[in-house]
Amino acid sequence: MENNKRVLVIDDEAHIRRVIELKLKKRGYQVTLAKNGEEGLKLIQTLQPDVVITDIMMPKMDGKTLCERTNESKKIRPFLTIVVTARISPTERDWIEQLQDTVFIEKPFSLQTILKCVDQYFGNQAQ
């Protein structure tokens, strides 16, 4: 099952990027990987992905800064951002609710939870 929906996975841990990539590709999504927020921001601007999955704790640019810098552009071209992290308290994640089309998934996460979130964004049935 191939489709034209583009997903960008941004995480500084290679094994996490790879596991998410494999599951999304198996579901038919086109997947691009980035190892930090700075690289991810450039790819968001050039590739214009439909979904961005990002960690918060990363080198060069953290996920919070990335989300804040891309939020304004969502008014022109909306896309879903999934923020995935373990190191955040409930009060520290209030900023996520202020951003357009942005959801939080806590690590350790279920790949099914991520797939369900992406599929729901596109209006697909979870398989």
Query: pLDDT for 64-105, tens place per residue?
Result: 899 999 998 898 999 999 999 886 777 777 888 888 899 988
Q: What pTM value is reported for the model?
A: 0.90
pLDDT of amino acid 127: 43
Q: Tokens 């601007």 sit at which residue?
A: 45
Give the whole-angstrom CA distance, residue 43 versus residue 121: 20
Asked, for residue 127, whether it belongs to a domain, the answer is: no
- pLDDT confidence tier of residue 124, bands split at 50, 70 and 90: low
Domain residues for 103? 6-122
Q: Collapsing DSSP states into helix, strand and coil, what is residue 98? A: coil
Instruction: Give me the number of domains the chain comprises.
Output: 1
Asked, for residue 73, whether it belongs to a domain, the answer is: yes
CATH number for 99: 3.40.50.2300
